[in-house]
Amino acid sequence: MKQYSYFPGCCMEGSARPYDTSLQAVSKALDFELIELENWNCCGSTPFGSTTQLEFISMASRNLAIAETKGLELVTACSDCYLTLNQANAELEKYPDVKKKIGDILNSVGLKYNGTVKIKHLTQVLIKDVGLEQIKSRVVKPLEGLKIASYYGCQLVRPIAGFDDPEFPEFLDRLVSVLGGETTEFPLKARCCGGASMIYQPDLALDLIHKLLESASAGGAQLIVTPCPLCQTNLDGYQGFLNRKFKTNYNLPILYFTQLIGLAIGLSPKNLGMDQLVLSPKKLLNQYFAAGPQTVKGA
């Protein structure tokens, strides 16, 4: 069984609990092991970017130093943690004097980091390492007839280039197809949801998620799937608020991509944290919630 070090990130202990629940269930079912990095600390995230470069990189470096002793790839499912940890690696390489100073800082507490940790996002693990073919072979309840918009957010596809187009990525759409669902047109699929500005500039963030919901609906989507915990919280948690503010009536359940995989490979909604979504997908996915036959037709 392939093993990875797992960096949950702070939101997995709160707003993204159903994400954590579902990714744990899916990893077990698809035979890979996520070993939580012991005593991990916050990756630093955007706020620490405003402190000093050394503080910002110190946050990530402690995690990376601990991860290096394990000798495994470091996996996170949070787009922001993915970006921040990768950024620390990149800056350590770009600025040799910073690397030396961080080395001294780590050394002073008995840690050491050589810069060898490879950071992966969980989507890469599932789509590349496990592979779409393998996932396909495990599908027992295809998402037939379900129209699904794949929402990527920004920080997973930009700026760390790598596994797909930064503006019109397709890997999630391919996953949806493999799971038996119908992909929909969603031109804004890699546009920003506003992120944490929902707290300090809600008018801006609400406008952005309004555009996203408009675009996804116009494409005929019945639900949106995303690999980003912050995008999920904004779209799921604030959709009702947005409907009241803009006098709209969107009702698009927002699923974590691991929940979608879990449903299709026959895991129970309960084990996927489906009851922790603000907008319940129960009506749309009633066949999955009722114990029933192995093959199910979608809504």
Partner 1 sequence: MIENKQELIKLGDDFLERLYAEPGGEYVRLCAQCGMCVASCPSASRVDYPPRKLISLLRAGRQLEVLTSNSMWLCLSCYLCSERCPRGVVFPALIHALQRLVNRYDLPTYRSTAPKMYQEFISIVENNGRNHELYLLLRYYFKTNPLGALKFMTVGLKMLLCGRLVLRPPKKIKGFEQLKLMLDRAKAMESGK
Burial status of residue 94 (CB atoms within 10 A of its CB: 0-12, 13-18, 19 or more): exposed
Q: How far apart are CA 116 and CA 147, in angstroms?
A: 41
The single residue among 1, 96, 109, 293 that binds partner 1, judged by CB under 8 A, is 109
- Cβ atoms of residues 281 and 253 within 8 Å: yes
Considering the complex, state which of residue 71 and residue 159 has its C-beta at the smaller distance from partner 1: 159
Q: HSE on the CB side for 58, CA within 13 Å?
A: 13
Nearest CA to 260 out of 237, 281, 236, 279 is that of 281
286 binds partner 1 (CB under 8 A): no
276 binds partner 1 (CB under 8 A): yes
- Binders of partner 1 among 79-98, rule CB under 8 A? 83, 91, 94-95, 98
DSSP 121: E
Query: 109 Cβ partners below 8 Å, 6+ apart?
Result: none
Query: 27 Cβ partners below 8 Å, 6+ apart?
Result: 33, 34
Smallest gap from Cβ 207 to partner 1, in A, equals: 9
Smallest gap from Cβ 296 to partner 1, in A, equals: 25
Quickly tell me which residue has 């939101």 as its tokens: 11
Smallest gap from Cβ 83 to partner 1, in A, equals: 8
The single residue among 29, 132, 139, 196 that binds partner 1, judged by CB under 8 A, is 196
Considering the complex, state which of residue 196 and residue 218 has its C-beta at the smaller distance from partner 1: 196
Segment lying near partner 1 (by CB under 8 A), choices 24-32, 125-133, 171-179, 193-201: 193-201
Q: How far apart are CA 126 and CA 27, in angstroms?
A: 9
249 binds partner 1 (CB under 8 A): no
The residues of the shown chain that bind partner 1, judged by CB under 8 A, are 10-11, 13-18, 38-42, 45-56, 58-59, 61-62, 83, 91, 94-95, 98, 101, 104-106, 108-111, 154-155, 158-159, 166-167, 191-192, 194-197, 199-204, 208, 233, 237-238, 240-241, 275-278
